Amino acid sequence: MELTGLSTEQAPPITAPVRFFVTAPLFGILAGLLIFFTDAPTLMNRYSIESIIITHALTIGFLSFIMLGSMTQMLPVLAGAKMPKVELVTKYSYILMVVGVISMLLGLYTSNRLLNIIAFIGLGSGFLTMLIATALSLKTVSNFNATVKGISTSIVFAFFVVLMGLYLLYSYISDDIDSTHMIVANIHSVWAVFGFAVILIIGVAFQVLPMFYVAPKFKAFCKKRVVWLISIGLVIWMFLSAFYEEYTLAGKLWIAVFVWAFATTVWLKLSRRRRPISDVTVWYWRSASVFLTLGSFLWIFDEYFKHEYIVMVAILIGGFILSIVIGMLYKIVPFLVWFHLNGMGYMSIPTINEMINKRVAQIQFILFIASLIGFIFSFYMQNLLQVSAISFIISMVLLEYNVISPVLIYMKTKKTKPDFDMSMFEAPKE
């Protein structure tokens, strides 16, 4: 058991996750701008290059950055595991991933082989370094609870998702896009969404919901079986979609049922929480639950309509993941700033609520939800797309504001040293 994870001195430096958190909304803004300048029919085709670029600005630039950044903080707290050489690993992975994702977006858009090669190297080495470092830290955990199992399973899926992603990128580099490319692309996207993101969120939710909201604990069946059941469903679905495409519905049903059950459970747990406070993070969990429920059902429904609604499914399930991730950012960033400053001996620092502008957070939430609803309805009213894109861009700007504000407080406090006082931590006199 890695008890050193409990020590402040050995806890990851605040820069490890924060560099990812501060950058992520910028990719959200970029994705919004790309949506704004793209027409609706192009975006309705999941295989159009514009759709692929926008999807990856969000999935890599926004979601992966936040999820992997959070991992550096979550591992010591949830699992008692410390990432080896965390500052070095996160600094270089971050640089590689930023260069990689920007090169990929530009490379795919301009069909530039050199940029795609840089993206291949940057994303491959950046992602694999983070994933291997996480896996190594998880190896030291002896108390393998439901949350650790969820995180570990999601890392396994992430590993395959990255390898498949690299194969797909290599297809663009070698200009060899055949039928296998489409099959791999399909598995890559479904495993990324359900295998990595959804399973990671489920694992973390087992701890976070009861802890932060004093909600009822998840049932033993849920904690012990759901991650495995979804994982088995994903493997079955993969074989069916690769070899027996006409039966993929069975695999989809299997996954969707358990995912929907989780979404419903989250809603019920929140309704029965003992902590009455209803802040923007609770709204995000609620909206996530609705998006996941609708997305799961539409994924099944879509099977009967020749995948006509698959982009709508992506918006809904993407909405679920984005909602959770943004909601958690509002908890994690101000807490990290407070925790690190307080641990250094600064006593009269703002509280968590004072670091985030609540009104801005509420407006950000409304604009974000409005943009997702707008994106869905732009299938029928194409004029809505640009308005929704503007709403999404503003919501991401506001999110960036709320992420940067606590970080600026941290920097200012460290610089001005207003009330440095370690007396509180001195040993009592005998």
| C-beta separation of 366 from 394 below 8 A | no
* Distance separating alpha carbons of residues 163 and 149, to the nearest angstrom: 22
425 binding another protein? (CB under 8 A):
yes
- DSSP code string of 348-389: SPPPHHHHS-HHHHHHHHHHHHHHHHHHHHTTT-TTHHHHHH
The site map against another protein for 76-95 (x = CB under 8 A) is xxxxx---------------
Q: Determine the interface stretch with another protein among 53-61, 71-79, 105-113, 402-410 (rule: CB under 8 A).
A: 71-79
- By CB under 8 A, the count of residues binding another protein is 40
Q: What's the min distance (Å) between Cβ of 168 and another protein? A: 38
Residues in the chain: 430
The values of phi and psi at residue 346, to 5°, are -85, 120
350 binding another protein? (CB under 8 A):
yes
Token pair listed for 364: 């950000």
111 binding another protein? (CB under 8 A):
no
Q: What's the min distance (Å) between Cβ of 4 and another protein? A: 8
297 binding another protein? (CB under 8 A):
no
360 binding another protein? (CB under 8 A):
no
Binder among 214, 235, 250, 408 for another protein (CB under 8 A): 214
Q: Which is nearer to another protein, 31 or 78 (CB)?
A: 78
7 binding another protein? (CB under 8 A):
yes
5 binding another protein? (CB under 8 A):
yes
* Distance separating alpha carbons of residues 374 and 62, to the nearest angstrom: 20
354 binding another protein? (CB under 8 A):
yes
Q: Determine the interface stretch with another protein among 128-136, 138-146, 289-297, 379-387 (rule: CB under 8 A).
A: 138-146
* Distance separating alpha carbons of residues 207 and 225, to the nearest angstrom: 16
Maximum distance among all alpha carbons in the chain? Answer: 77
CB atoms within 10 A of CB 416: 10
Binder among 353, 411, 412, 416 for another protein (CB under 8 A): 353
33-59 in b/e form (b: 16+ CB < 10 A) is bbbeebebeebbebeeebbbbbbbbbb
Q: Which residues pair with 420 in a beta bridge?
A: 346
1 binding another protein? (CB under 8 A):
yes
422 binding another protein? (CB under 8 A):
no
Site residues, another protein (CB under 8 A): 1-8, 76-80, 142-143, 145, 207, 211-212, 214, 273-277, 279, 331, 335, 338-339, 342-343, 347, 350-354, 424-425
